[in-house]
A = this chain, B = another copy of it.
Amino acid sequence: MPKQVDHRGRREAIARALWRVVEQRGVTHLTMRVVAQEAGISLGQLQHYFASRTAMLSFAMDFASEQTSRRVKEGLKKLGDRPHPRDVLRLTLVEMLPLHADARATSRMSAAYVLEALHDETVHEQARRGLVQGRALVEQLVRHAIADGHIAPDRDPATETNLLLTLTGLTPLIELNVISPQDALTAIDLYLDRLFTGRDRSA
């Protein structure tokens, strides 16, 4: 189905144009007109692919999540057949931080999306679903690591998952150059060491 493929390809090109607008100019400039300009197509052509700004945003956010998953999967391949759950979690968390160009684009997209979600029910539902699914994957990892003896059995999987996800809270500190990328990685490694040994590595 070459036509189908083309359609998908064009939508992805538009999504990338939308990311560039978010990354380089900010969410306040995110209108269909600006995205059409950035993608080098007319507003009418853009409207052929996306009926509304929300539909366009939805697709761009889904595509950003797919790209993050793809980067994590590629990283996992390098970890071999049976990667340690600590390495899987580290890779996942690091790919969610704005530490390289692609991750920065998806991270900014995702921050803009959460703000947008507060004022649009459709976006809220989609953003919530995405976050619930991502959270469930992390919780599953934590539960397996507990079952396999990598994490102490008295740890509560739900709360540990919530605490792991808060590590994305390093984002504003990195974006505003308050801490260095290396500081962020040091914090994540220290946190994971404690989680996986049940105590402070230095203790």
B-binding residues in A (CB < 8 A):
23-28, 30, 108, 111-112, 114-119, 124, 127-128, 131-132, 135, 152, 154-156, 158-159, 162-163, 165-173, 175-179, 183-184, 186-187, 190-191, 194, 198-200, 202-203
Give the 8 A-B residue pairs with the shortest CB-CB distance, closest first.
A169-B169, A166-B169, A26-B119, A128-B176, A162-B187, A154-B202, A114-B172, A131-B178
Q: Which applies to chain A's interface (DSSP): helix, strand, loop or mixed?
A: helix
In the complex the two chains form, is A183's CB within 8 Å of B199's CB? no
With A28-B28, A128-B176, A154-B203 already in contact, 12 other A-B pairs whose C-beta atoms are closer than 8 Å = A24-B119, A26-B115, A26-B116, A26-B118, A28-B116, A111-B111, A114-B172, A131-B178, A154-B200, A155-B200, A159-B186, A198-B203
Q: How far is the CA of A118 from the CA of B176 in the complex (A)?
A: 8
In the complex the two chains form, is A152's CB within 8 Å of B190's CB? no
Within the complex, what minimum Cβ distance (angstroms) separates A34 from chain B?
12
Chain B residues with CB below 8 A from A178, complex form: 128, 131-132, 135
Q: How far is the CA of A4 from the CA of B95 in the complex (A)?
A: 50
Q: How far is the CA of A135 from the CA of B156 in the complex (A)?
A: 29
- What are 19 A-B contacts defined by CB distance under 8 Å? A24-B119, A26-B115, A26-B118, A27-B28, A28-B30, A28-B116, A117-B176, A118-B175, A152-B203, A158-B183, A162-B173, A162-B179, A162-B183, A165-B169, A166-B166, A166-B167, A168-B169, A194-B194, A199-B199
Shortest Cβ distance from A29 into B: residue: B119
Known: A111-B114, A176-B128. A25 touches B162 (CB 8 A): no
Chain B residues with CB below 8 A from A203, complex form: 152, 154, 198-199
Within the complex, what minimum Cβ distance (angstroms) separates A123 from chain B?
10
- Interface centre among A27, A162, A187, by most chain B C-beta atoms within 10 angstroms, is A162
In the complex the two chains form, is A163's CB within 8 Å of B187's CB? yes
Q: How far is the CA of A27 from the CA of B116 in the complex (A)?
A: 8
